[in-house]
Structure 1
Amino acid sequence: MTATTPAAPAALVDHPNGGARRIPVFRAYRFELVKLVSQWRIRLLVLACWIAPALFVVAVSQQTTLPVDTLFGRWMQATGWAGPLVTLGFAGTWALPLLTSVVAGDVFAAEDRLGTWRHLLVTVRSPQRIFAAKVLASLTVILLLVVGLVASSTVGGLVAVGNHPLVGLDDHLMTPGGAAGTVLLAWACVLAPTLALAGIGLLGSVTLGRSPMGLLLPALVALAMQLAQMLPLPAVVRLALPGYAFIAWNGLFTSPAQLGPLLIGIVVSLVWAVTATALAYLLFLRRDFTNLTDDGLTRRALTAGVLPLAGLLAVTIAVLPVVTTATYSGSGIQQAKVEHSLATAFAHLYRMQADELHRPAVTEAQLKSSAACTKGNVDHDAEGAGNDWRCVVSWHLPDSEATGQAIYQLDLTADGRFVADGDGPKEVNGYFLVRTPYGDTPNPLWQFDSNVELLSTSKG
């Protein structure tokens, strides 16, 4: 029998000057993108991200019971711009970590499972270009999924409810145009922690090879960061975690905007994204692709991937107290901050209630609202999260010597968000509904959301 030699692929035809021609990065990227979108699970994810949020927002907006435990959930029947924000809260907690796991966490490991590394190397003839093509393709798919989430939830909210003003997190009223721009900006901000999880997914896919842990790594890291945000950790540790930007976007919806923690969260996330991707690149170039048993799962690879990220976290924790007001011992939740945040939100909502009841208009400056809070048995210098905050809000009406007072019970979480539950008097915040000349409407002072900025000012 005479052996035959297969013809060389067109991509490997020799140059006139000698040597095989390497496939350009763009062609390799296009090839990797086609491989990704041809997978049935990726197609299902794209379809779900572009359809499911709209259906969810429309369905919830028509219900009599709203997700008031979710940020902006209580306003889903008032404006279409609350829908994409509720979706954003869910996406940052569950959807985006899972999406990055499925896409970035499997883009390299799939070649190990299929045993196609040698064929890919023979075709492309450049590990560097293979890495760049796979990274760009996975990021393109992730971006497509994120765009689908925001577009679908926005269209669903606007169709179901309409383009109405949005009540901000400190309860000031945002115009429809201002709400639209801020909602899109909030979604753009969470791209940074999404890229950080994608970088961790790439690192896990390169390092763990055939192991399913590479696929689950971004989701597990995101879950660990969520659990850390629920613990009574110092503010400096919260800010140092790459997932903090998933919750720091709520600072965009206060007046003035609380940009300090958000900017820190974005920078930290981008540093993690670059570091994890660079580690994945270095480990990928060290792979022995001629050895079929080498799928990257080595103690040296795990050490080279985990220790640098742990060192990055330690360095970030050490640097933040130098450049910000965050400390190693403070939670960032102090009594004065709670009182100021509650008084500000109450003043904004009092104006809204006065408008509903057709009372004379009054400004926040005229109200001169203030709050006095206690936490349990602590009357002075109270600090920390808990559901034992009790506050008394006081205000003055123009041309009146009497001082109005209202009582609120606060449930304040470790990330600074709190729910204020009215506890009387019944004329102000004692009932869910208020009677107006046009019928009963929800009482804006009965129960509302607000937050305490963990980092108020910077040192430079």
Structure 2
Amino acid sequence: MTATAPATAAPEAATAARVSVARGYRFELVKLVSQWRIRLLVLACWIAPGLFVAGVSRQSTLPADTLFGRWMPATGWAGPLVILGFSGTWALPLLTSVVAGDVFASEDRLGTWRHLLVAVRSPRRIFAAKALASLTVILLLVAGLAASSTIGGLVAVGNHPLVGLDGHSLAPGAAAGRVLLAWACVLAPTLALAGIGLLGSVALGRSPMGLLLPAVVALAMQLAQMLPLPVAVRLALPSWAFIAWNGLFTAPAQLGPLLIGIVVSLVWAVTATALAQVLFLRRDFTNLTDDGAGRRAVTAGLLPLAGLVAVTIAVVAAVTGATGSGISQDKVQHSLATEFAHLYRLQTEQLNRPAVTEARLKATATCDKGSVKVAAEGPGNDWRCVVSWHLPGVEATGTAVYQLDVTSDGRFVADGDGPKEVNGYFLVRTPTGDAPNPLWQFDGNVGLLRSSKG
């Protein structure tokens, strides 16, 4: 009797000492938010974007090289889109590096794995708790960026219509919905970078490369997006979803590339997180010198992700049938003519001229690239276009010249080159005072997967 009592009580004590995923999650979340750098990041994300948007919106010098930067003084909904473009390029990769890239490596530096394993008694629950805690902090940071920039823009400028990337005007309610949806869409590539951060933190241990891995991968993908790669390769990278939200601000919305980018990003997020979990569960915690770094980081981390790139490229190419750069003469001409017609109508309202519709304008564009000897396709800053339109009751055909800089992702900047009455000046004189000329310089978007007829 005395010999069996302790044997029976031992499993009960072990069961009672188990820590659930919920308790482990709360513990890991408290550990994260107690770090001074995480608290500083939270404060920065919830305060700095609003101050930046409010300050820039009041300045005469605008970030015109940034998408929607020209519209910051006109509507409060342009500010969060400017911050979104900056965040996808720099802020979100760095935030995921600091949070997800360090959540496992910090235990290696402090040497606390044995204490944590004794307390939780399950590597699987430890991984789940740490992954969920880092995800929560990342979502809090993203929400801060979106909320702060939106509040700053609305307070500084006001709730006014937003001009989309094809020149059509979005009412404040529609603009609010599109801005919120755009921020929601970038959560998918952010999760992909977070999964890569977890993988680097587990596989590389206390090595600084584990902390930098999401930022390095994001930088490499951004450089790839700048190269004249085939459109199928471009869409098969998770970084595409940081760009594809542009398609939400055209009519009709260019949802195909955006949905592909979201799906690819989620596949990357699941794959990288699963690889991190497998490496973590296989780790030998009894060996204090084993911090997870070594050959397994390549065989179980790098090679599977490289294989995933090849698979996604093949699948995207087969599903979309996309070939080449996706930027053709017909697409550029259609996008430019459509946007010019919308913006011409906006200029007509500014100057208090007789109203005219896009259908009656019948705007068309004729574009060439470089010279007649060069095929008019692909990105470049040597696109030259002539836009023609007809005003009701006027026999003469109106024409305007534009120089286009088309980037590899389909975005273009149209710079007016005359006549001066249409697009020759930055400002136009309206009955209420000088106002920015919408036809002087504007941003547009070419649908890479859209047919030549638009």
TM range (shorter): over 0.9
2:60 aligns with 64
TM-score calculated relative to the size of structure 2: 0.96
2:108 aligns with 112
2:430 to 436, 439, 445: 436
2:48 aligns with 52
Amino acid at match of 1:147: A
1:155 aligns with 151
The answer to whether the 8 Å contact 2:385/2:402 transfers is: yes
Amino acid at match of 1:101: S
The answer to whether the 8 Å contact 1:196/1:270 transfers is: yes
> Residue 290 of structure 1 aligns to a residue in which SS?
coil
2:401 to 400, 407, 428: 407
The answer to whether the 8 Å contact 2:369/2:375 transfers is: no
2:415 to 401, 418, 421: 421
2:210 aligns with 214
- 1:403-424 deviation digits (Å, cap 9, x = unpaired): 1100000011111111100001
> What is the deviation of 1:14?
4.8
Gaps of 5+ in 1: 1-12
The answer to whether the 8 Å contact 1:14/1:21 transfers is: no
The answer to whether the 8 Å contact 2:203/2:296 transfers is: no
The answer to whether the 8 Å contact 2:428/2:435 transfers is: yes
Separation in structure 1 between the aligned mates of residue 53 and residue 238 of structure 2, nearest angstrom: 28
Amino acid at match of 1:418: F
2:224 aligns with 228
Count residues in correspondence: 444
- 1:393 aligns to 2:403 (yes or no): no
> What is the deviation of 1:358?
0.9
1:289 aligns with 285
> Residue 78 of structure 1 aligns to a residue in which SS?
coil
> What is the deviation of 1:320?
1.2
- Per the alignment, do residues 396 and 115 of structure 1 end up closer, same or farther by CA in structure 2, a change over 3 Å counting? same
Q: How does 1:377-388 map to 2 (within 5 A)?
A: 377-378=371-372, 381-388=375-382
Amino acid at match of 2:201: S
> What is the deviation of 1:19?
5.1
Gaps of 5+ in 2: 1-8
Separation in structure 1 between the aligned mates of residue 298 and residue 280 of structure 2, nearest angstrom: 12
> What is the deviation of 1:436?
2.0
> Residue 421 of structure 2 aligns to a residue in which SS?
coil
- 1:187 aligns to 2:183 (yes or no): yes
1:5 aligns with none
1:361 aligns with 355
The answer to whether the 8 Å contact 1:15/1:21 transfers is: no
1:341 aligns with 335
- 1:270-292 deviation digits (Å, cap 9, x = unpaired): 00000000000000000000000
- 1:232-251 deviation digits (Å, cap 9, x = unpaired): 11111100101100010000
> Residue 423 of structure 2 aligns to a residue in which SS?
coil
The answer to whether the 8 Å contact 2:404/2:413 transfers is: yes
1:313 to 299, 309, 313: 309
Separation in structure 2 between the aligned mates of residue 145 and residue 301 of structure 1, nearest angstrom: 28
Amino acid at match of 2:266: L
2:5 aligns with none
1:375 aligns with 369
> Residue 210 of structure 1 aligns to a residue in which SS?
coil
The answer to whether the 8 Å contact 1:288/1:294 transfers is: yes
1:201 aligns with 197
- Per the alignment, do residues 27 and 351 of structure 1 end up closer, same or farther by CA in structure 2, a change over 3 Å counting? same
Amino acid at match of 1:288: D
The answer to whether the 8 Å contact 2:329/2:376 transfers is: yes
> What is the deviation of 1:401?
2.1
Separation in structure 1 between the aligned mates of residue 286 and residue 47 of structure 2, nearest angstrom: 44
The answer to whether the 8 Å contact 1:421/1:447 transfers is: yes
> What is the deviation of 1:299?
0.5
2:240 to 230, 237, 244: 244
Identity of aligned residues (%): 81
TM-score calculated relative to the size of structure 1: 0.95
The answer to whether the 8 Å contact 1:54/1:155 transfers is: yes
- 1:387-441 deviation digits (Å, cap 9, x = unpaired): 1000000011112222110000001111111110000111111111112222221
> What is the deviation of 1:225?
0.7
Amino acid at match of 1:244: W
Separation in structure 1 between the aligned mates of residue 385 and residue 439 of structure 2, nearest angstrom: 14
